[in-house]
């Protein structure tokens, strides 16, 4: 990314700043909502891509709220699925996060924790993403013992000496997400009507 004066910033630095800025945003994103549906989404009844940003006349728009809103929209479908599990009395004790979203500081982990209302654990290699996970799956398929579950294979052979970190969302993050999904999304009706 280059400026008018000819100075350039590495894209990784731009992403890092956006991630950090999200932590400064209001827990309710200043009453802004983003529907990040580039294609249809079955769980919310949206048949085709409809990306949009919605606000009220009282909404507060700034970069921090926009960056936080982007994260919330990335986890929107997961949050809807979590509500189904909550209604079925399924409780998540913890989840291990892995993928590019966890590349910069603890921002992705914190917002994922708020989404599931449970701690998120991650390792130093958490940002390695899908290809790494696919390689581990392939390794399991060709190297596991007949009576060895994938859970045991991962715990005893892959992650045995990996350092694990834990993030738990702040209460304000959990409440902000709950407000966005129970009040704003349901009032807009977008998830129900498939705008």
- pTM of the prediction? 0.77
What is the chain written as a DSSP string? -B-TTS-B--HHHHHHHHHHHHTTS-TTGGGEEEE--SS-BGGGTB-S---EEEE-TT----HHHHHHHHHHHHTHHHHHHHHHHHHTT-----EE--SGGGSSTTHHHHHHHHHHTS-EEEETTGGG-HHHHHHHHHHHHHH--TT--HHHHIIIIISTT--EEEE---HHHHHHHHHIIIIIHHHH-HHHHT-
CATH class of 11-124+163-193: alpha beta
List the chain domain ranges: 11-124+163-193
Q: How confident is the model at residue 192 (pLDDT cuts 50, 70, 90)?
A: very low
For 99-135, what is each residue's pLDDT tens digit?
Answer: 778 877 788 899 999 999 999 988 877 777 667 778 8
Q: Is the pLDDT of residue 185 over 80?
A: no
For 29-79, what is each residue's pLDDT tens digit?
Answer: 898 888 777 787 777 777 888 788 888 888 898 999 999 998 888 888 888
């Amino acid at each position: 990314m280059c400026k008018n004066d000819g100075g350039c910033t590495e894209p990784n630095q731009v992403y890092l700043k956006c991630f950090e800025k999200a932590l400064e945003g209001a827990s309710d994103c200043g009453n802004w909502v983003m529907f990040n549906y580039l294609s249809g989404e079955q769980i919310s009844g949206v048949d085709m891509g409809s990306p949009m940003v919605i606000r009220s006349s009282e909404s507060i728009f700034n970069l921090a709220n926009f960056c936080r809103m982007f994260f919330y929209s990335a986890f929107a479908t997961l949050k809807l699925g979590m509500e189904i599990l909550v209604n079925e009395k399924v409780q998540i004790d913890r989840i291990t996060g892995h993928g590019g979203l966890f590349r910069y500081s603890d921002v992705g982990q914190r917002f994922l924790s708020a989404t599931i209302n449970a701690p998120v654990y991650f390792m130093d290699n958490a940002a390695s993403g899908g290809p790494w996970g696919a390689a581990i799956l392939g390794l399991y398929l060709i190297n596991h013992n007949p009576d060895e579950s994938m859970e045991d294979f991962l715990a005893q052979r892959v992650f045995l000496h990996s350092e694990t970190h834990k993030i738990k969302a702040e209460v304000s993050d959990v409440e902000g997400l709950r407000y966005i999904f129970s009040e704003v999304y349901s009032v807009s009706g977008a998830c129900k009507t498939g705008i």
